[in-house]
Amino acid sequence: MKTYQDKVHLWGRIWMVSALLMMISIPAIISVTLNEWPHLQSFLQGLFTTAIIFWTVTTVEVFTFSPMLGSAGTYLGFTTGNLTNLKVPSALNAMQGLDVKPGSETGDVVSAIAIASSTIITTLIIALGAALLIPLTPLLEAAVLQPAFDNIIPALFGALGVVYIARAWKIAVAPIVAMLLIFLLIPGTTDLVGIMVPVGVVIALISARILYVTNKL
Amino acid sequence: MDFLSSWWLIAMALFVVCFVLSQSLFFLLKARKRALELGLSKEEIRQTIVSTMIFSIAPSVAILLGLLALSKVLGVVIPWIRLSVLGAVTYELPATINVVEGVFGESIGNRISDPQIFVTVLWVMTLGIIPPLIIVPLFLKRIQSRVKTIRKKDSKWGDHFMNAMFLGMISAFLGYVVAPRLDEVTGETYVSLLAVLTLISSAVIMAVIGIIITKYKKEWLKNYAISVSMLGSMALAILYAYLGVR
């Protein structure tokens, strides 16, 4: 008999392949309707400069985030995007709220519930925003609100940081020191945060393993 | 370029929205059923859904800012579609700039009027983020079974392993917050004290809520603690900026 996890992989694959076909069909339908296709050279030039960074980042993200998000959460999160600024924090927030262990089956279902709920609200807000963009523009562009919108990442990761650092501060020391040094000393790293996430994860895993085998955890 | 607000393009956007909502509802219902089987109560699930939705509002409004920025180049409907599926403003905007400025030498400040540039942007945006849609169906089962093996072999290490993964990600974003950034007007680099103060404020609010939860046994607050910390520190960011912090 198929387990819940087996079924999740079956459903997830069906949804994801459908999403792949849907995403590719959008530019295809537009090109057919307009009778306008990109010239190969321009397309390859644009794709190369984009893919060299984003194929690497998104590939690494799959291997970094999927153990955190669980199976259903990964299928859903990687179809709908906005992972680091929304889906991963949502899953962490929900698992922390219910005190469930990430990576366990309960963690997996709680993560899926959180990512699905988050996706629903985000999709509705974006749709509403698209419909009302003209009246909303003065509000979204209001200078007084810009500091709040510009600082969502610090607002998000300050709170998450406290929770997870308090939970395992010994593991946290090495990656935090390493990341602070890298970001402060190497110019231009703000654009490479996607690449730096797996670097931070590898440092944290090595540090945790050393602490664990030397009985310091 | 009249088609940018044509009915068929809007119909495609609505189809994408329906697809994403259907997929989310599908997994939400399946996960809810399994959560009940695993012993979670209906109330716990309801609270998780409500708190996640509240938590997601502020980041979603920030995504609207990306929609606004992209709409100036691509119209409203295409960014609406793109931001509803895999990707993020941090990807869509550089991809657009790579094509419009890098390939065609045009300015990103104006609405695209050349169909050739438009379709090139669209194809690059779509294919530039395609790997997860291929890798996840092919490899996720193997990745998850490896994680399961780690947990089974040594559950104590399994817990540390997961904590290390989260802390690795969080540490990268802590580094990102303190990283020097470029002032586009003056050309000088600076560390944003505003970002650092917002981070610290969020951490302090979270710590205070944590103390309230532990000391006064307000367990229900747990579900809203991160949302409150995030919104509180965003409100403080407005105050800090008003006081001249940058």
pLDDT tens digits, B29-71:
999 999 999 999 999 999 999 999 999 999 999 899 889 888 9
DSSP A30-47: HHHHHT----HHHHHHHH
Last residue of a domain, one of B129, B162, B196: B129
pLDDT tens digits, A19-34:
999 999 999 999 999 9
* Cα nearest neighbour of A194 on chain B: B172
Q: What percent of chain B has pLDDT over 90?
A: 70
pLDDT of residue A84: 87
Query: Which residue of A56, A71, A84, A93 is the best one to mutate when testing the B interface, meaning the one whose CB has the most B CBs within 10 A?
Result: A93
B25 and B118: one domain?
yes
Is residue B166 a part of any domain in this protein?
A: no
Query: Which residue of B170, B193, B211 is the best one to mutate when testing the A interface, meaning the one whose CB has the most A CBs within 10 A?
Result: B170
Is residue B73 a part of any domain in this protein?
A: yes
Q: What is the mean pLDDT of residues B68-82?
A: 91
pLDDT tens digits, A184-195:
998 878 877 888
Q: What percent of chain A has pLDDT over 90?
A: 77
Q: What is the mean pLDDT of residues A12-22?
A: 96
Contact: A67, B144; criterion CB under 8 Å: yes
What are the chain B neighbours of A92 within 8 Å (beta carbons)?
A: 166
pLDDT band at B198 (very low <50, low <70, confident <90, very high): very high
| pLDDT of B1 strictly over 80 | no
Contact, A16 vs B136, CB < 8 A? Answer: yes
Is residue B137 a part of any domain in this protein?
A: no
B3 and B88: one domain?
yes
What are the chain B neighbours of A172 within 8 Å (beta carbons)?
A: 167, 170-171
Q: What is the mean pLDDT of residues B13-31?
A: 97
Going by C-alpha positions, the residue among B232, B235, B211 that lies closest to residue B221 is: B211
User: ipTM of the predicted structure?
Assistant: 0.89
How far is it, in rounded angstroms, from Cα A156 to Cα B226?
7
Alpha-carbon Rg for chain B, nearest whole angstrom, is 22
Please tell me the number of Cα atoms within 13 Å of B35 on its side-chain side: 27
Please tell me the number of Cα atoms within 13 Å of A171 on its side-chain side: 31
Is residue B136 a part of any domain in this protein?
A: no
Which of B27, B104, B201 comes nearest A112 by C-beta?
A: B27
Which of B38, B148, B234 comes nearest A148 by C-beta?
A: B234
Is residue B143 a part of any domain in this protein?
A: no
* Cα nearest neighbour of B169 on chain A: A197
Contact: B176, A196; criterion CB under 8 Å: yes
pLDDT of residue A94: 94
Last residue of a domain, one of B95, B129, B163: B129
Number of domains in chain B: 2
Contact: A61, B178; criterion CB under 8 Å: no
Contact, B70 vs B95, CB < 8 A? Answer: no
pLDDT tens digits, A114-126:
999 999 999 999 9
B112 and B192: one domain?
no
B115 and B192: one domain?
no
pLDDT tens digits, A45-100:
999 989 988 898 889 889 999 999 999 999 999 999 989 889 999 999 999 889 89
pLDDT tens digits, B150-189:
888 898 999 999 999 999 999 999 999 999 988 878 888 8
Intra-chain end-to-end CA distance of chain B, in Å: 40
Cα dihedral B1, B14, A139, A144 in deg (nearest 10): -100
Least confident of A64-68, A156-160, B12-16, B87-91: B87-91
Q: What is the mean pLDDT of residues B137-151?
A: 91
Which of B139, B175, B207 comes nearest A182 by C-beta?
A: B175
B242 and B125: one domain?
no
| pLDDT of B94 strictly over 90 | no
Total CB pairs under 8 A between chain A and B: 550
For B93, the domain range is: 1-129
What angle (nearest 5°) sits at the alpha carbon of residue A84, between those of residues A121 and A109?
60
What are the chain A neighbours of B173 within 8 Å (beta carbons)?
A: 84, 153, 156-157, 193, 197
pLDDT of residue B187: 82
B43 and B120: one domain?
yes
Contact: A94, B51; criterion CB under 8 Å: yes
B124 and B16: one domain?
yes
Is residue B147 a part of any domain in this protein?
A: no
Going by C-alpha positions, the residue among A12, A90, B132 that lies closest to residue A4 is: A12
B4 and B105: one domain?
yes
pLDDT of residue B79: 93
Average pLDDT over all residues of chain A: 93
Is residue B161 a part of any domain in this protein?
A: no
Last residue of a domain, one of B112, B129, B146: B129
Is residue B160 a part of any domain in this protein?
A: no
pLDDT band at B87 (very low <50, low <70, confident <90, very high): confident
B103 and B216: one domain?
no
Cα dihedral B42, B43, B45, B47 in deg (nearest 10): 160
Q: CB neighbours (10 Å) of residue B104? A: 17
